[in-house]
Amino acid sequence: MGKDLRALVQKIGGGASGSLRRNLSREEARAAFESLLSGDGTDAQVAAFFAALRAKGATADELTGSTEAARARLSFPALPAPAVVLGTSRMGKFHTPPLGLAAAAAAAACGTPVLVLAAPSARGAGITLGDLWVHMVGSPCSDPGSAERLLQQRGLACWEPTLADPGWPRLLRIEEEIGLRSLPDIVIKLLAPPGCRLMVAAMAGPVLGTAGEALTSLGCREGVIVQGIEGSTDPSVRVHTRGLLIEGGSTYPLRVVPADFALECDAEPSYPHEDRLEAAVGATLQALLGMPGPVTYATLLSAALMLRLSGRARDLAAAVALAKDALESGAAQRVLDGVRAAARQ
């Protein structure tokens, strides 16, 4: 595959002759990513492939084909209805704490099971949802069976799908050595059970159309794509957050305006001190107490999107009310306590 991969890099990058860059077909992308996961190509060729694709910008077909190749090598946990899968980045957040764990606990307390997809943090990355899970709960599930049991028992689980495929460590290492967010980080967020209700983060910029097309091509009929703070699923509490809603396989613009729910603030949540992991833990505990302020308000908006996606609430206003009650009543805290106890047995 070494020569084939070199040819694909030249096709994507334009080649030494300076010809026009070309996109890969869905089939070419699927074959290429399968070969990478199988160990083909030198590290230099793999790095060049990732860098060329990042410079060009991945198309929906390229994302779809790559994800199909990665999904085909995995077994997935069976999801209880109406579960939501939360796709997260391994690059983390540098300036604001990740609040997805508190939001997922609130959604679970309202009757929406949540499966968090995690991946090993990249070297030099910000705080990820996986980091927070390890610190506050324990190790993520490494096999689909344990994730499935935890979901059934507690309504909340964290699964690290890359642990089940020996082809991933090399790709993650090369991505780290490049020092740029590239194809592996995007595909990891999409390693969800086919046909599930998927809530996934997207970076800022004109990427929603591509992301929506990729998700629907992968068979997603119900989903939410959120351009949250620092490329997370945490909506802003200062300005509106853009996104895309997938309902019945069709896509619709999504706009989350915190002022519509009396959740607008002058500033976003922040790290109060230099130890970002401890600060993220503190922010999660603050949200679980329902303390008024940016941390809790961003958590409410994130949980509301999960509840809306699951069908538990008819609209975001009703979902915010449900999530608020879950936090203020202590139900979300009890969910997290139960998950922690079950994970450490």
Both tokens assigned to 87: 């796709």
Specify the pLDDT at position 3: 61
- Looking at the DSSP bridge assignments, the partners of residue 256 are 241
User: Do the beta carbons of residue 180 and residue 54 sit within 8 Å?
Assistant: yes
**For the whole model, what pTM was predicted?**
0.94
How far, CA to CA in Å, does 223 sit from each of 21, 26, 38, 211, 214?
Answer: 31, 21, 30, 11, 12
Q: Where in the chain is the domain with CATH 1.20.970.10?
A: 2-71
pLDDT in tens, 119-142: 878 888 899 999 999 999 999 999
Angle at 183 between CA 214 and CA 210, to 5 degrees: 25
Low-confidence ranges of the chain (pLDDT < 70): 1-3, 15-19
Specify the pLDDT at position 76: 97
Instruction: Match domain 84-343 to its CATH number in 3.60.10.10, 3.40.1030.10, 3.40.50.12660, 3.40.50.1820.
Output: 3.40.1030.10
Q: Where in the chain is the domain with CATH 3.40.1030.10?
A: 84-343
Assigned CATH for 2-71: 1.20.970.10
Both tokens assigned to 119: 């991946």
Specify the pLDDT at position 345: 75
Q: How far apart are CA 317 and CA 227, in angstroms?
A: 20
Q: How many CB atoms lie within 10 A of CB 253?
A: 10
Specify the pLDDT at position 293: 97
State the angle between helix axes of 168-178 and 43-56 in degrees (0 to 180), rounded to the nearest 10. 60
b/e sequence 32-52, b meaning 16+ C-beta within 10 Å: bbbbbbeebbeeebbbbbbbb
Specify the pLDDT at position 344: 79
Q: How far apart are CA 43 and CA 51, in angstroms?
A: 12
User: Do the beta carbons of residue 183 and residue 114 sit within 8 Å?
Assistant: no
Specify the pLDDT at position 125: 87
Specify the pLDDT at position 150: 96
